[in-house]
Amino acid sequence: MKFSSMFLYTMKEVPREAEVISHKLMLRAGMIKKLASGIYSYLPYGLKALRRVETIIREEMNAAGAQEVLLPGVQPSELWKESGRWNVYGKELLRLIDRKGGEFALGPTHEEVITDIVRDQIHSYKELPVNLYQIQTKFRDEIRPRFGIMRAREFIMKDAYSFDADDRGAEKSYEAMYRAYERIFSRCGLKFKAVEADSGPIGGNFSHEFMVLAETGEDVILSCSSCKYAANLEKAEIAKPASLAFQDAPAGTFERVHTPGARTVEEVCEFLGVEPRNLVKTLIYTSDKGVFAALVRGDHEVNEAKLRRVLGCDALELADEATIEKHTSAPRGFAGPVGLSIRMIADSALMEAGPYVVGGNLEDHHLKNVWLSRDVAAVTLDDIRDARQGDPCPRCAAGSLEAIRGIEVGHVFKLGTKYSQAMNAMFLDENGVLQPMIMGCYGIGVGRVVAAAIEQHADEAGMTLPVSIAPYPVMVLPINVTAGDVMETATAIYNELQRQGIETILDDRDVRPGVKFMDADLLGVPYRITVGAKGLKEGIVEVKERSTGTVEKVSPQEIVAYCSARLSGRNNY
Ligand code: ATP
Ligand code: MG
């Protein structure tokens, strides 16, 4: 395409609202435009990159035996009530009322819709397995949309759902998707790692996330220094101690101390001159299994996904001020386990040492010299904290965990029979017995893949896009459009590239060469062919590879063959 007729507006200045490199570059390269918080339009250059990723996804999904469908974005509440998620999905679900008073939601995911379709169509084991996927717009009312399309409220997802007759089949479906994801992300030019993950509100019993390694990633991955274990922070286990029991405590008693205004770990530590590791944080939670307290060391963080698993609850939230007051007789900041009559779960790291400083269940008071084994009634011990750098590996004796950051681009879940049972998706097995279908679901954030690829492929000057997802793999850049032979040669090269199916930009703008070079770098075009009067006199044009910066001189007659040789085998272009 000719640059002069492209709907493409680049900008030099770095937009202030953008924190990460991909967001900055996508705005500067005119790929996306914000409409409202977490809601973006794709402009032509951005959409082309998105379509490249979609094509790779479609090819690999089809090759893995999945079939494409397109499901509605608006979903009736009845289905969500059947699955039991209408009341537990929370505020990310944007709910709507139609003119007749019917309740609907903007689909954040499509387990219910697809299960409803499959249960109506499939009745026998002979029709299984089946895997259906779509590439479609999701809406999640994210609490903190940020980083542009990386964490948006409206975003495009590829979601696939598999239905199998038995566990072995379900394993195979999962495996096939896992392999397809490895191919998809490799073809997109990403450095990634598959890690064990928590299933969250989608449910199910097993899952892996595909993480693109990037320092700006929102996710923390813990990976073992010596074995293959890797998990996201929500899921990462910590090697279990040999036995779960508190250390014996000396005889004696605790001491109540006045700590006016000291509520946070830092404030209390400073006031009493103790280290955070000698303090117990007591957090009061409400859940569908009642109110309870979670206890962790002052220098540790509660892991709510682990807490959910320990309690077997779905909904879990930090208690509000009134609930805290009711159970601790004190405002927020002074809760402690001594004398507390609600259920208590303590993190296993707390059994290692004592004595501790704890909240006094009285405004402006804490207790010193507390031994949990001596001074606190019934406490359950379990792993309820976030793992961190240096913790022992849960799988091998030798290793310890290293913390790295990543961007979650894909997620594969074994759902089991959670939805098929709740929504009655049954089939007759070989013996004529009615059985629930065994499901899996598999998501990829398509826009997030584009953003993650930019995050990994960028330098000070702009994007360094991999050929497989670059909107235009080649740009022809005539230095001076008014010089007849320069423009003539550039146009001839451009026409021939286009004829060979290589999508090319011809920068036909009558602007300073510096402006053109800057745009070419910003846009991340993998190969830039510069045509200038001086070079033509020597019988050459210059071709620069954006990712490496290497420049080669090639004759105008050979440049098209040169490009197609470079691009072939680099996926679709
Ligand atoms: P996250 O932990 O990042 O919120 P999730 O676990 O909620 O992700 P899934 O429900 O597994 O995400 O969705 C499948 C994929 O959709 C994710 O792997 C991610 O790539 C993408 N995705 C999820 N939420 C968003 C969002 N708000 N904006 C863009 N992409 C998203
Ligand atoms: Mg989410």
Burial (CB < 10 A; 0-12, 13-18, 19+), residue 402, is middle
Say if CB 140 and CB 445 are below 8 A apart. Answer: no
CA gap 427, 250 in Å, rounded = 62
Spatial CA neighbour of 236 closest among 196, 209, 206: 196
Q: Is 221 in the pocket of ligand 1 (CB under 6 A)?
A: no
Q: Is 208 in the pocket of ligand 1 (CB under 6 A)?
A: no
CA gap 531, 537 in Å, rounded = 11
Give the residue, by CA position, lying nearest to ligand 1 atom 28. 151
| Residue to probe by mutation, ligand 1, list 157, 178, 185, 219, most atoms within 8 Å of CB | 157
537 C-beta neighbours (distance < 10 Å), count: 9
Q: Is 337 in the pocket of ligand 1 (CB under 6 A)?
A: no
Q: Is 528 in the pocket of ligand 1 (CB under 6 A)?
A: no
* Cα 93 versus chain centre, distance: 18
Q: Kindly give, in sequence order, each residue whose CB lies less than 8 Å from that of residue 472, ignoring residues fewer than 6 positions away.
A: 1, 48, 503, 504, 505, 523, 525
Q: Could you give phi then psi for residue 204, rounded to 5 degrees?
A: 95, -175
Q: Is 107 in the pocket of ligand 1 (CB under 6 A)?
A: no
Q: Is 158 in the pocket of ligand 1 (CB under 6 A)?
A: no
Using CA atoms, how far residue 501 sits from 544, 545, 567, 572, in Å, is 20, 19, 11, 10
Say if CB 507 and CB 519 are below 8 A apart. Answer: yes
b/e map 197-222, b = 16+ CB within 10 Å: bbbeebbbebbbbbbbbbebbebbbb
CA gap 479, 533 in Å, rounded = 8
H-state helical runs in 122-264: 167-187
Q: Could you give phi then psi for residue 193, rounded to 5 degrees?
A: -145, 135
CA gap 507, 523 in Å, rounded = 12
Nearest ligand to the C-alpha atom of residue 218: 1
Q: Is 422 in the pocket of ligand 1 (CB under 6 A)?
A: no
CA gap 270, 264 in Å, rounded = 10
CA of 259 to the centre of ligand 1 (A): 43
CA gap 280, 334 in Å, rounded = 11
pLDDT of residue 205: 60
pLDDT of residue 573: 39
CA of 291 to the centre of ligand 2 (A): 25
pLDDT of residue 572: 45
Q: Is 152 in the pocket of ligand 1 (CB under 6 A)?
A: yes
| Residue to probe by mutation, ligand 1, list 448, 449, 450, most atoms within 8 Å of CB | 448
CA gap 543, 502 in Å, rounded = 15
User: Structure pTM?
Assistant: 0.88
CA gap 265, 283 in Å, rounded = 12
| Residue to probe by mutation, ligand 1, list 185, 408, 414, most atoms within 8 Å of CB | 408
Q: Could you give phi then psi for residue 375, rounded to 5 degrees?
A: -105, -5
CA of 439 to the centre of ligand 2 (A): 20
The domains located in the chain, with CATH, are: 3-237+403-455 (3.30.930.10), 255-382 (3.90.960.10), 472-567 (3.40.50.800)
**Strand order across the beta sheet in which 380-382 lies:** 316-318, 280-287, 290-297, 343-347, 380-382
Rounded to the nearest 5 degrees, what angle is found at the Cα of 224, between the Cα atoms of 221 and 227? 135
Spatial CA neighbour of 418 closest among 399, 393, 398, 440: 440
373 C-beta neighbours (distance < 10 Å), count: 13
CA gap 482, 511 in Å, rounded = 11
Q: Is 410 in the pocket of ligand 1 (CB under 6 A)?
A: yes
Per-residue tens of pLDDT for the chain, all 573 residues: 999 999 999 999 988 989 999 999 999 999 999 999 999 999 999 999 999 999 999 999 999 999 999 999 999 999 999 999 999 898 999 999 999 999 999 999 999 999 999 999 999 999 999 999 999 999 999 999 999 999 999 999 999 999 999 999 999 999 999 999 999 999 999 999 999 987 665 555 689 999 999 999 999 999 999 998 999 999 999 998 887 777 778 888 999 999 999 999 999 999 999 999 999 999 999 999 999 999 999 999 999 999 998 999 888 999 999 999 999 999 999 999 999 999 999 999 998 768 999 999 999 999 999 998 889 888 899 999 999 999 999 999 889 999 999 999 999 999 999 999 999 999 999 999 999 999 999 999 999 999 999 999 999 999 999 999 999 999 999 999 998 899 999 999 999 999 999 999 999 999 999 999 999 999 999 999 999 999 999 999 999 999 999 999 999 999 999 999 999 876 543
Rounded to the nearest 5 degrees, what angle is found at the Cα of 459, between the Cα atoms of 455 and 461? 125
Rounded to the nearest 5 degrees, what angle is found at the Cα of 441, between the Cα atoms of 182 and 187? 20
